[in-house]
Amino acid sequence: MGERFRCCRGALAVVVMCLLAVPAVAQFGGNTGGILGRVVDEQGGVLPGVSVTVKGPGAAQTVYSDARGEFHVVNLAPGVYALTLALQGFSTVNRENVSVSLGRDSELSIPMKLSAVAATVTVSGEVPVISTKKVETGAAITQEELKSIPNARDPWVVLQSVPGVQIDRVNVAGSESGQQSNFSGKGSTAGTFAVDGVNTTDMSALGASAPYYDFDSFQEMQVISGGADASIAGSGTHLNMVTKRGSNEVHGSARLFDVDHHFQSQNLPTEAQNQVFGPGGGPSGEAPGSPAPLAAGNHINSVQDYGAEVGGPVWRDHMWLWGSYGRDQINLVTAGATIDNTTLEDFNSKFNWQVVPSNSVDVWYLRSDKLKQGRSGGVTRPQETTWNQTTPQNTWKVADSQVAGSGFFFTAQYNGANGAFTLDPQGDPKRQSYIDGGGVWHNTYEFFASGRPQRQVKADISYFFNAGSIGNELKAGFGYLKAGARSSSQWPGQLDCTDCAISGSFFPGNGQAAQTYGDQFDCTDADGNSVPCATITRQSNLSIDNKYFSAYLQDAITMDRLTINLGVRWDQQYGNNNPTVIQGNPTPEFAAAGIAPTVNYLGANKPFTWNDWQPRVGLTYALGTNRTTVLKASYARYAEALGTNQTGQINPTNSVAYLYYPWNDANGDGVVQPGEVNVSDPTHPLSWRGIDPGFQGNGVSPNTFSSNFHAPKTTEFVAGVDHELFPAFAVGAVYTYRKFTDQLFRFPTGITSADYVLAGTFAGTLPSQLGGGTYSAPYYKLAPGFTAPPGYVWTNRSNYDQTYNGVDLIVTKRLSNKWMMRGSFSYNLDKQHTNGTSGCVDPTNTVPGQSADVGNPQTAYTAESCADNTYVATRSTGSGSKDSVFLNSKWQFNVNGMYQAPYGIELSGNVFGRQGYPYPMFRQGTTPT
């Protein structure tokens, strides 16, 4: 026993010294798999010292079995491999058709026979589908499924097929591939994306991907939604993708897909065709009350998808090259009859070099761009107010892998991305926007541009050793990520002057932007009446750098049939608000009144720092002679990720500032003239947003962070069973429980629930479409004479949590005997729990941002969102969202499969179903002042 512990301490010391020498991070997003094998004789005794040569897409590798007869081969590209096992006195064994999948160890048990003469035996068998050593929920998507299953061709559709993951749209025939889907996985709206080990998550919009992708460039995909892996950061849905690579054989493929509007049907209800607009008329200037142009509804004009990829050797067994090009064209027409055309274009390249037998280099580059003409069009956004979007993204990495003996492996990489995001209105930037009485925009719209640079260093170490009869698989990592956000936004409009300087470094117009627009019927005066108002704005000019440090240490301890995974993860997250200048509104009359002046922001470094230790524990136990049944359970603690938008909550430059003043459109032209705006009391506008009206030149935000502001937490328990019914075919069931606490939340500065008094009761009869019957609900207001300071305090929501309970039934059939299948059925239950009044300061729950936790917003109009033990309806939010769609249906299923018929014909299909999107119903009213 003493020798065993000394062995463990010595191995741990070696790993710790190696970690201290490497400034890198082991984040989710590896681009390889591995082979874990056990060599035995005819009586089942272990065989040490067996040479194992592995041949596949890259150079051959040779390792040796250890004292327990086990061998490990890591950092293998997904694909099919052949193994040759040799030991003096035994017949040489060739093991063919060994499949290696992304993020998994293919587990083999290989017998060798005694032989007095040299002999070679060739065997071929199925690699087990289930893992006997890992606790993990999610799905593995093979190359066969990616290329053969009929479905829309983007990664978000793949997410839809994963147990427990729901998305906010059904992508029919690729019509939604021009926009990313919002998704929720096992109660969490967080998510990460990785390609070839590079983090491609948009840290300015957590849950989104920075680039778009060429679907045919992928070799495999892996989705992780939970489990005990300490390399996983956050509780969200993690999509890991690996692109193809060159091999010793020249290979390639090409595709062409083209379909137009003749291949779709018309299912627009008569009620929608007869829908009319309010007093302002329709989006094309129709008279008030005239029919809206909805005869065709949202529909596809045409969809095209074409591309090619090719790879092969530069120097056989030493250097390989691969490249691909893909282009998607999605042309749509919206319900408002606006044109929405999207072009997705990708160029991929990869260079692999086996420098020496023990060292290899991997270089990868991705150029991705999205060109969208007519974004956000609809019945209230006619064509001239839509955006043209560009999203160019250059992503690259350089990686090195080193094998230092049969039990020690090391890999490190440096990668980066230079991305941009621009929304340029189609309307003339010299014109001024306005909103008519029906809420329809006219002329043009806001301009936005953003740069999102990113740099990352990361490394992983694997060390395999034995302590007597106990096997240990020690893995560790350490590292750093820097993610930046640079953005500017402003409203257009040409001032009536000839010598004005251009305002705003991003604005593309000639001349000075007035940064003012009119709203004909959407402001409220002191008497509670709706009145026209002029919106005087000031540009935003944001610069933020977030920094992430993380490390993990994990050991898989194997004792025959039992494996215990013990791990711990550490994350440190913080951000810096960099100094910037916000150009004020340039209109001379407004500038003279001190309205929205220029601000010199001095910046704020590390307004808070999140430090979190997160334990992970997993247990597996294999049953049966061939270990075809595995019981598994795990506990995990997650700290959620910090987005750049959260760092910017105290930054006065992070959004356009809006001040609303009374407006009399004297000449009826819909254009705000300075003489038409009542600015006699500039510090008391009708309303405001993103600015303190009493201190408009203040370079300090009224928002603050609480002293104990920390990362949201998720606690997870997983329990399940996997059973391989026969080779390559397995079924499983898994139960997941999650509790989400400490969610990010904002409260009005200086206000508590004690500052509200009962103001009255809303009562009435519900219409039949809302269920009928009567309703009665109290409403509250601030006590008379109470004046709160401006701004919000960002903190962690106390006396509030959300829970997720889910059961997944899963079936997996790897391609063999000419057929494959993957299917699942999930039952999900999300609820929220409140205790006391601290979860909602305003009992009526009308304070902006208080309607629910950030990231899982419910309807902002009902006090029921603060009620205890109610269902959580996660709303689709953010860029490109389906705003009226609420996720978290109770059940969902997906089944796909393929059969290889004679003459090279493949018969395949996919069936998806769900309960339907929840539709929260509410009754809205206006409280008396």
pLDDT per residue as tens digits for the range 326-351: 999 999 988 788 999 999 999 999 99
Helix (H, G, I), strand (E, B) or coil at 644: helix
Q: Look at residue 291 in the predicted model and tell me its pLDDT.
A: 40
Reply yes or no on whether the pLDDT at 835 is more than 90.
no
Q: pLDDT digits over 684-714, tens only?
A: 999 888 888 888 988 888 889 999 999 999 9
Counting residues of the chain whose pLDDT is more than 90, the rounded percentage is 56
What value does the mean pLDDT take over residues 821-834? Answer: 93
Residue 847 pLDDT: 58
Instruction: Give the per-residue pLDDT at 296.
Output: 56
By three-state DSSP, how is residue 362 classified? strand
Report the share of the chain in percent with pLDDT over 70.
88
Say yes or no to pLDDT of 405 above 90. Answer: no
Outline where DSSP puts E strands in 393-515. Answer: 393-403, 408-425, 434-435, 441-442, 447-467, 470-490
Q: Is residue 543 predicted with pLDDT exceeding 60? A: yes
Confidence (pLDDT) at 29:
56
Query: What is the arithmetic mean of pLDDT over 727-741?
Result: 96
Helix (H, G, I), strand (E, B) or coil at 752: coil
Q: At which residue do the structure tokens 């003043």 appear? A: 661
> Are the CB atoms for 491 and 467 separated by under 8 Å?
no
* Residue 297, pLDDT above cutoff 60: yes
Spatial contact of 647 and 630, defined as CB atoms under 8 Å apart:
no
The tens digit of pLDDT for each residue in 838-894 reads 667 777 766 554 433 333 333 333 334 567 788 877 777 776 777 778 888 999 999
> Going by C-beta distance under 8 Å and a sequence separation of 6 or more, which residues neighbour residue 540?
487, 488, 489, 490, 582, 653, 654, 655, 656, 657
The pLDDT of residue 511: 45
Q: 715 with 738: CB under 8 angstroms?
A: yes
Q: How confident is the model at residue 771 (pLDDT cuts 50, 70, 90)?
A: confident
Do 791 and 848 meet the contact criterion of CB atoms below 8 Å apart?
no
HSE, CB side, 13 Å, CA atoms: give it for residue 678.
14
Q: How far apart are CA 428 and CA 493, in angstroms?
A: 9
- Residue 89 reports pLDDT greater than 90: no
In 3-state terms, what secondary structure has residue 444?
Answer: coil
**Residue 706's pLDDT is what?**
94
**How far, in Å, CA of 435 to CA of 432, rounded?**
10
| Token representation of residue 729 | 């075919």
Q: Which of 162-166, 226-230, 379-383, 755-759 has the lowest mean pLDDT?
A: 755-759
One-letter amino acid for residue 234 of the chain: G
Cα–Cα distance measured from residue 305 to residue 327, given in angstroms and rounded to the nearest whole number: 6
* Predicted TM-score of the model (pTM): 0.88
Range of lowest pLDDT (32-46, 619-633, 781-795): 781-795
CA-closest candidate to residue 73, choices 408, 344, 359:
408
In whole angstroms, give the CA distance from residue 489 to residue 64. Answer: 60
**What average pLDDT does range 241-264 have in this prediction?**
92
- Interior angle at CA 291, CA 287 and CA 295, nearest 5: 140
State how far the Cα of 863 lies from the Cα of 493, in Å rounded to an integer. 40
Across the chain, mean pLDDT equals 85
Please, which pLDDT band fits residue 778 given cuts at 50, 70 and 90? Answer: confident
Q: CA–CA separation, 922 vs 870, rounded Å?
A: 15
731 bridge partner residues: 723, 811
Distance spanning both ends of the chain, measured CA to CA = 78
Look at residue 3 and tell me whether its pLDDT is greater than 60: no
How long, in residues, is the chain?
A: 929
Model confidence at 267, in pLDDT bands (50, 70, 90)? confident
Do residues 136 and 224 make contact, with C-beta atoms less than 8 angstroms apart? Answer: yes
d(CA 865, CA 669) in angstroms, rounded, equals 43
